[in-house]
A and B are shown apart, each in its own frame.
Chain A
Amino acid sequence: MEEQKKEDEVQPQSDATHIAQVAELHAKLLRLQADMDNMRRRHQREKEELGYMAAADCIYQLLPAMDNFDRAVKLLPAGDWTQGMVMVHKQLQDILQCLGLEPIAATGAFDPELHEAVAIDEDSTDPENSVTQELERGYKYRNRVLRPSKVRVSMGGCKIE
């Protein structure tokens, strides 16, 4: 019944129009399928990325506390209490390392992939563009830079006016 009705409604059309229409629809379909295919692949990638991001963000949020712990441990006066704190500090470092967190070395040549220059060192006699001091530790998480090291960079003895 229903199909009957539909057929009745269809206007007679020339073959050429039909062919053009089919070609157009076919092109649209192919595009849509390609879109779907790309989307599926991207989705997969995004899913993996999301997993990474979720963990990375969590660890990233922890870093300021870790920084302050680093600072505290460096400044604590010697003693039994301090020794205990140093051990807890070490433990935390080890746990984070097991999770895939890795400190970035802040020595040698300044590398903007890994380091962020927050100050220059005009008095240093180190070669120009080398890192003279680590001001805040940088980290890689699963081989990607999570946070670059904040460093001071040598000007090789020449002053910037």
Chain B
Amino acid sequence: MSKVIGIDLGTTNSVVCYLEGGEPVVIPNAEGSRLTPSVVGFSKTGELLVGAIAKRQAISNPDRTISSIKRQMGTNHKVKIDGKEYTPQEISAMILRKLKQDAEAYLGTTIEKAIITVPAYFTDSQRQATKDAGTIAGLEVLRIINEPTAAALAYGLDKGQDHTILVFDLGGGTFDVSILELGDGLFEVKATSGNNKLGGDDFDQRLLEYLIKEFKKSSGVDLSKDRVAMQRVREAAEKAKIELSTLQQTAVNLPFITMDAEGPKHLDISITRAKFDELTEDLVELTMGPARRALQDSGLEAHQIDKVILVGGSTRIPAVQEAVRRLLGKEPHKGVNPDEVVGLGAAIQGGVLSGDVKNVVLLDITPLSLGIETLGGVLTKLIERNTTIPTSKSQIFSTAADHQTSVEIHVLQGERAMAVDNVTLGRFTLDGIAPAPRGIPKVEVTFDIDVNGIVNVKAKDMATNKEQRISITSSIGLSDNEIDRMVKDADKYAAEDQKRRELVEAKNQAEQMAYSAEKLLKDLGDKVPSEQAEAAKSAAAETRTAIASGDINKIKAATEALTKIVDELSTIMYNEAQAKANSQEQSGQDAADETIDADFDVEKK
């Protein structure tokens, strides 16, 4: 079955989304943008242009550029270009076709079906025109849904218990308020209101006028007659507005904005959020009227609204959010990108209709990490928390002592660095390992978590293929609270744990070095001058004393000194081997240099 896309066919911009693994995602267009301007144009040579490219020629080719066609949907309006007439649905179809083609290119499959959103106040004929536009574009329109409904779907409100939802949509050029009622998983529109000539552009305009006025005050130059300067100021105004949604203050910097007899002039004006709020106060107030009207029409009081959703880029303006909060006495829902929610919701509806949503198996994740205890009481994680299950992972380990014939696998769950601070899930022993120097045997440990969350741990001696396993079902027995506490603890003790871990690592390294020194001394026997042998012996002994002291600085210093001696011994060993015409294997070298993933807890037999 082919994918179903969800399309927010906007007045200013359009968005196309689809469902990927049960999650709605925005599909970027061929130019790499998530928003496509709802603009269609024909170049002077008659070529069809859609989106940003069409917008670029709007000024030089206004007769052949069409924007805001959405306002004409369902009317008998005709667009006449080069003697040819187009209906609004034909123009909309050109936008839809680009969205479809770009989505196909991005997804690498053909797309035949779509959900398209329309404002809640659209009449039947406007809806029919939108559907026809889809058909002309080669799309089977599975359903036309209301923009506020799509937004509510994107917020997952269809699953909730809350029955009354107010959707506040302030975009670039239009403002809509809708009140929805949820019953049996379906949304019913109770009331709509709005102002189709109010949006972010008006906020830009206010800021622009302010900048022009301030510049005139300080420089005496009126920029409003300079089209090029105005273009720069307009862009800077929108940028400043967007910045003021997160910052308390911003500066508009436009060097060389103009030139007079005295030389170049620069525009450099600071604007505080308070100033911006003051300049746009009445615009914000303008949104309150329709919101009150919608409440009135639905026969509801503000406190009877269970959820408030913000849609449209301009609802990022703090003063707008504050006004909504004050009017309704509750915190509005945020989180999803307000300029993308409608498209995302349309994709969810598409998934529901095509059965994609049902087909999505809800995959679980492991709430905590899983691993085993290794040398020095450290937890070595094999599976990190938040890994999607089913999953499996293997890692090779080795022994910590010479001639160790068995290893104990201590299976742990948790986030802390040291084994003792985590939860034991089980233990088992793999024995029958052929006696060998430490670090030589290879034991493969495999963790496997199946769909039901059952953890199977297997240890296999790579030399003999002998294996031992354990199956643990209790890993999911922890309550959410316990899991939460364990994750929080890991953060709380992170610094402390890090220190302990460093100490263990230093001890392990020191131990390894002392072992190498002793082994080299034994292997080389009288080939080492007795003075040097004595020095090596005492350095090794000192290292062991340092290990026992538990002082990381002492351990590191002793290890460093011992490393130098081991290097010298290794050189003797190497020369020795060379002398034997390379016929002998360099076993001493092996012990010192072999890289080992980790060592098991020492368990002597």
Question: Quick one: which of A2, A35, A128 contacts B471, CB cutoff 8 A?
Answer: A2
Residues of B within 8 A of A75 (CB): 256, 259, 263-264
B261 at the interface (CB under 8 A from A): no
Cβ A129 vs Cβ B20 within 8 A = no
Cβ A117 vs Cβ B256 within 8 A = no
B477 at the interface (CB under 8 A from A): no
Q: Which of B54-62, B496-504, B539-547 contacts A (4 or more CB under 8 A)?
A: B54-62
Question: Quick one: which of A39, A41, A119 contacts B228, CB cutoff 8 A?
Answer: A119
Which residues of chain B (42-61) have a CB below 8 Å from chain A? 43-44, 49, 53-54, 56-61
A72 at the interface (CB under 8 A from B): yes
Whose C-beta in chain A lies nearest to the C-beta of B44?
A129
Cβ B255 vs Cβ A72 within 8 A = yes
Cβ B49 vs Cβ A49 within 8 A = no
Distance in Å: Cβ of B223 to nearest Cβ of chain A: 14
Q: Which of B54, B56, B61, B359 is the most central at the interface, judged by chain A CB atoms within 10 Å of its CB?
A: B56
CA distance in complex: A5, B273 (Å) = 68
B227 at the interface (CB under 8 A from A): yes
User: How many contacts A-B (CB < 8 Å)?
Assistant: 70
Cβ B231 vs Cβ A118 within 8 A = yes
Q: 1/0 contact trace for B89-119 toward A, CB 8 Å?
A: 0000000000000000011110000000000
Cβ B49 vs Cβ A112 within 8 A = yes
Whose C-beta in chain B lies nearest to the C-beta of A118?
B231
A106 at the interface (CB under 8 A from B): no
Which residues of chain B (343-373) have a CB below 8 Å from chain A? 359
A71 at the interface (CB under 8 A from B): yes
Which residues of chain A (25-47) have a CB below 8 Å from chain B? 28, 31, 35, 38-39, 41-42
A116 at the interface (CB under 8 A from B): yes
CA distance in complex: A150, B49 (Å) = 18
A86 at the interface (CB under 8 A from B): no
Distance in Å: Cβ of B178 to nearest Cβ of chain A: 34
Which residues of chain B (251-296) have a CB below 8 Å from chain A? 255-256, 259, 263-264
Question: Quick one: which of B44, B56, B232 contacts A148, CB cutoff 8 A?
Answer: B56
Whose C-beta in chain B lies nearest to the C-beta of A150?
B231
CA distance in complex: A89, B109 (Å) = 47
Q: Which of B41, B56, B60, B62 is the most central at the interface, judged by chain A CB atoms within 10 Å of its CB?
A: B60
B525 at the interface (CB under 8 A from A): no
Cβ A116 vs Cβ B56 within 8 A = yes
Q: A68-B255, A117-B58, A120-B60 are in contact. Are A42 and B108 (CB under 8 A)?
A: yes
Cβ B228 vs Cβ A135 within 8 A = yes
Residues of B within 8 A of A119 (CB): 59, 227-228, 231
A residues contacting B by CB (< 8 A) are 2, 28, 31, 35, 38-39, 41-42, 49, 53, 68, 71-72, 75, 110, 112-113, 115-120, 128-129, 135-136, 148, 150, 152-153, 160
Q: A-B pairs with the 5 shortest C-beta distances?
A: A117-B60, A153-B60, A71-B256, A116-B56, A112-B57
